[in-house]
Amino acid sequence: MERLDDDGEHRGLIVIAPHGGDIERHTDEQAECVASRLGGFGVSSWRCKGWKERREDGSGGALECWHTTSTEIDPSSFPGLGSVIDRGFAHALAFHGFDESEILVGGTAPAALKEEIRCAIEAATGGSGICVRVATPDDQFGGDDPCNVVNRLTADSAGGIQIEQSLPARRDHGTAIAQAVATVYAHKLHPQRPSWQETISDLAEWVRNAARRAVDWGSRRLR
Ligand SMILES: [Zn+2]
């Protein structure tokens, strides 16, 4: 099941959960939390959710059936994703779950942004003992392949952030992690409509420029 929230033109941030539902539990809730927290910026959001009963031997669950690796997700199979894949967002953020015991911040985004997000998550999960680290090029789940859907969504495939999380991290701290990451992006995005403070400062600048032009004009006439 595919879900897209998009106004058809926003280019700041898209937040995604390619393996929502039972595939990587709580990741879709995290993506929805960030999107609603940053709703004033017009942020886009894409989630793909899968559910499947396991067989009695425990096999055949959602993860086994519906998990497509992030580098192999084909936008032509997902009309919603297909409609935004070439938008060239400045930022894309993906929530994932894995079986390791840590939280890994990866993707093709600049190192400084990854470190900022790592610090925010570390503060949000403080006291839990969960290790939060930035992926190295050797990490299998580092999400630094330009073909990874989170990177493909960004301009020049250079703005993706992929967050891989253990189940306890998602289950016990999912919302706190999402809120912390949303706060990082809130400082990087522009509001959909200029706030009244910006409108007033634009107006003040216009008045200053107009006054300067009038003075220039007056001094030319006096010469
Ligand atoms: Zn995943």
- How far, in Å, from the CA of 25 to the mean position of ligand 1? 10
- Cα-atom radius of gyration of the chain, to the nearest Å? 22
Taking the centre of ligand 1 as the mean of its atom positions, its distance from the CA of residue 70, in whole angstroms, is: 7
Would you place residue 40 in the very low, low, confident or very high pLDDT band (cuts 50, 70, 90)?
very high
Ligand 1 centroid from CA 216, angstroms: 62
Q: How confident is the model over 56-85, as a mean pLDDT?
A: 85
Q: How far is the CA of 164 from the centre of ligand 1 (A)?
A: 7
What whole-number distance in Å separates Cα of residue 15 and Cα of residue 145?
18
Q: 153 with 213, same domain? A: no
Q: Which domain holds residue 210?
A: 194-223
What's the pLDDT at 67?
Answer: 78
How far does the centroid of ligand 1 lie from the alpha carbon of residue 63, in Å? 9
Which tens digits make up the pLDDT trace of 191-204?
Answer: 766 667 667 878 88
Find out whether 163 and 94 touch, Cβ atoms under 8 Å.
Answer: yes
Cα 32 from chain centre:
11
Query: How far away, in angstroms, is 24 Cα from ligand 1 center?
Result: 6
Q: Which comes out higher in pLDDT, residue 14 or 209? A: 14
Kindly give the interhelix angle for 167-186 and 27-37, rounded to the nearest 10 degrees. 20
pLDDT digits (tens, 9 = 90+) for 87-116: 999 999 999 999 999 999 999 999 999 999
Q: Does residue 118 sit in the same domain as residue 210? A: no
> What confidence score (pLDDT) does residue 121 get?
98
Write the CATH number for 178. 3.40.630.100
The pLDDT value recorded for residue 197 is 67
